[in-house]
């Protein structure tokens, strides 16, 4: 029987991770938008901060602000020594499979953008059926994805994939206004954006347990 894992989820820190009070736990997960401007110097500072955190396992994915991972991936991976970076990849911890992907439907002219429909579906098709914790930067459609205008900005294709593979947890960020938790068809959905729509770090890290 797998042991229970206490996980801490954060997202959209935009360089303000030092303002957070992180609970202790087994796994620290960052769901993208680490940086404000996507510079390697920002990533270096983030990596130093990560090294100060007590969590045994640290997983990160990129977000639309994190240009360094799209344009300077090799350099970024050399800098990132204190966490595992997942880009359409999985990692197994204590028997649980974590899968990370940075993509989201096209949103202005940012990093890791793909057109809705067939283009982004190719990325979701890479997700295996044995995933326990799915981490994507953008939310699924209709779940913690409502922007200030009242529209739902999440990805329909992602929602279909989540329903198909039925993970225990889906973690996202990207839509700051969508911060919070929801349960749908037995799946826990988390939008872990720690910054609000004005880019102020007002939201607490979200703690959950797998197992």
Domain boundaries, the chain: 5-210
pLDDT, average across residues 142-168: 95
Task: Report the DSSP pairing between strands 104-105 and 113-114.
Answer: parallel
What per-residue string of b and e applies to 35-60 under the rule 16 or more CB within 10 Å gives b?
beebebebbebbbebbeebebebbbb
> For residue 35, what are the contacts with CB-CB under 8 A and spacing of at least 6?
14, 15, 42, 43, 46, 65, 66, 67, 68
The pLDDT of residue 84 is 98
Task: For domain 5-210, give the CATH number.
Answer: 3.60.21.10
What is the distance of C-alpha 188 from the center of its chain?
A: 14
Percent residues over pLDDT 90 in the chain: 95
Among 196, 189, 186, 192, residue whose Cα is nearest residue 206: 192
The pLDDT of residue 2 is 67
186: pLDDT strictly greater than 90: yes
- As a whole number of angstroms, the distance between CA 171 and CA 112 comes to 17
- pLDDT band at residue 26 under the 50/70/90 scheme: very high
Reduced to 3 states (helix: H, G, I; strand: E, B; else coil), residue 68 is helix
pLDDT, average across residues 37-66: 98
């Amino acid at each position: 029987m797998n042991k229970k894992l206490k996980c801490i989820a954060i997202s959209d820190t935009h360089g303000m991770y030092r303002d957070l009070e992180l609970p202790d736990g087994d796994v620290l997960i960052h769901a993208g938008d680490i940086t404000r401007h996507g510079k390697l110097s920002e990533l270096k500072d983030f990596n130093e901060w990560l090294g100060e955190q007590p969590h045994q396992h640290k997983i990160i994915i990129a977000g639309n602000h994190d240009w360094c991972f799209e344009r300077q991936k090799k350099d970024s991976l050399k800098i990132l020594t204190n966490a595992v970076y997942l880009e359409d990849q999985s990692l197994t911890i204590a028997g649980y499979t974590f899968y990370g992907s940075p993509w989201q439907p096209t949103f202005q002219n940012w990093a890791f953008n793909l057109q809705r429909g067939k283009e982004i579906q190719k990325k979701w098709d890479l997700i295996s059926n044995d995933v326990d914790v799915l981490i994507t930067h953008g939310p699924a459609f209709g779940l913690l994805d409502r922007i200030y205008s009242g529209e739902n900005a999440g990805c329909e294709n992602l929602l279909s994939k989540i329903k198909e593979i039925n993970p225990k947890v889906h973690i996202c960020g990207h839509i700051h206004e969508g911060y919070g938790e929801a349960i749908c068809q037995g799946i826990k959905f988390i939008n872990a954006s720690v910054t609000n729509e004005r880019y102020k770090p007002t939201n607490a890290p979200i703690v959950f347990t797998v197992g």
